[in-house]
């Protein structure tokens, strides 16, 4: 698993503006889709665009680790002989990738964190993070819907409904409403 992470996580960073340029050329800016005016788009398309805008804004405004800290953490993971990456570390790397617009890499990190998770709530949380990355990366509902179902199943099997469960449940509901 560490080999997969080492292969999938490249050493340099890609700027979010460079990564977003091809997408901006083919899609209208989010504000055009979500401005609330009658622009001929269905309410489902506007809801999905609003969800994408909220997710992108959340990570763009989030304080994340520096590029240097990101590289140091990657190196530490590659050099570590343990079988699991701490979930907190996975979340830091995920947030950095989302902040920088590296959605494919973020999705890989989240999917590996699902495997490293010990509880249904942790698995649901990282599955939902993977769905966020998938939504921003490719808009493929055939890929996102099974992730949402998997997260819902994990939350249904959770024994306790603590704060982490409620946060994951709220995140799931927000995504389901935005993707209807």
Express as a percent the part of the chain with pLDDT over 90: 62
136 has pLDDT over 70: yes
Q: How far apart are CA 94 and CA 105, in angstroms?
A: 8
Q: How far apart are CA 107 and CA 15, in angstroms?
A: 17
pLDDT for residue 17:
38
Q: What would the pLDDT profile of 3-26 be if each residue is shown by its tens digit?
A: 334 434 443 434 333 343 333 333
123 has pLDDT over 90: yes
Q: Where residue 97 falls among pLDDT bands split at 50, 70, 90? A: very high
pLDDT for residue 35:
52
Report the range of poorest mean pLDDT among 37-51, 133-147, 166-180. 37-51
More confident residue, 102 or 82: 102
Contact, 149 vs 179, CB < 8 A? no
pLDDT for residue 159:
85
Instruction: State the SS3 of the chain.
Output: CHHHHHHHCCCCCCCHHHHHHHHHHHCCCHHHHHCCCCCCCCHHHHHHHHHHHHHHHHHHHCCCCCHHHHHHHHHHHHHCCCCCCCHHHHHHHHHHHHHHCCHHHHHHHHHHHHHHCCCHHHHHHHHHHHHHHHHHHHCCHHHHHHHHHHHHHHHHCCCCCCHHHHHHHHHHHHHHHHCC
Report the range of poorest mean pLDDT among 40-44, 67-71, 99-103, 145-149. 40-44
Mean model confidence pLDDT for the chain: 82
């Amino acid at each position: 698993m560490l080999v997969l992470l080492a292969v999938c996580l490249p050493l340099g960073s890609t700027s979010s503006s460079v990564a977003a340029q091809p997408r901006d050329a083919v899609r209208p800016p989010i504000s055009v889709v979500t401005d609330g005016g009658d622009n001929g788009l269905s309410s489902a398309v506007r809801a999905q665009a609003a969800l994408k805008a909220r997710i992108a804004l959340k990570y763009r405004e989030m304080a994340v680790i520096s590029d240097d800290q990101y590289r140091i953490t990657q190196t530490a993971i590659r050099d570590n002989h343990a079988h699991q990456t701490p979930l907190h570390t996975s979340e830091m790397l995920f947030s950095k990738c989302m902040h920088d617009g590296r959605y494919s890499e973020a999705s890989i990190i989240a999917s590996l964190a699902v495997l490293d998770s010990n509880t249904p709530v942790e698995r649901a949380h990282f599955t939902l993070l993977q769905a966020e990355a998938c939504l921003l990366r490719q808009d493929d509902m055939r890929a996102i819907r099974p992730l949402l179902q998997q997260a819902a199943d994990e939350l249904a099997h959770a024994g306790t409904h603590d704060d982490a469960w409620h946060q994951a449940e709220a995140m799931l509901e927000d995504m389901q409403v935005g993707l209807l």
